[in-house]
Structure 1
Amino acid sequence: MKLLAVIAVVGLVIYGISNTIEIPFATGWNILTTSLFCFAFTKARLISGPEGWGSSLHKSLTNATQHLHLSVQITLK
């Protein structure tokens, strides 16, 4: 459980850095960190159960990451 939280935090830091500093491969980092968010919080939700601590956090992050995926896809096209 702690490992999943660490993965999510590291992903958030990388995502923030890649958006702050315009790295040429930032789009790749955004896709990678979004995938890490989805993986980590989905696993956290499965571990804690549908009514556990992760459910509302999971829903809000899922909505945010889906929006980010759409933004990245539109940017790539």
Structure 2
Amino acid sequence: MMVEHPVYHFHALGISTPLEGQDAIRGLYRTWAETGECVMYTDDEQIAVGDHMIASMMTGYQFKPGKVLAAAGFDVDDENAM
């Protein structure tokens, strides 16, 4: 299920990135599934629900394979590790 025109705003690691539209959101989740980045959990979440939106502010944790971190410029000991 997805609204007609979803908009995601990500603020993490000093980077702010908006994603708009169903194709962009589907692409994000497809990429996470294909690269093994789909394991995540949240902490300290606050949620606000309105007639035309849902807003969530949280601390999020996402597991990433070493090869994804290395491609992003991080030093890793083992690119095959999770």
Please give the TM-score of this superposition, normalised by the length of structure 2: 0.26
Please give the TM-score of this superposition, normalised by the length of structure 1: 0.28
The structure with higher relative contact order (CA 8 Å, sep 6+) is: 1
Structure with the larger strand share: 2
| Greater Rg over alpha carbons, structure | 2
Structure with the larger helix share: 1
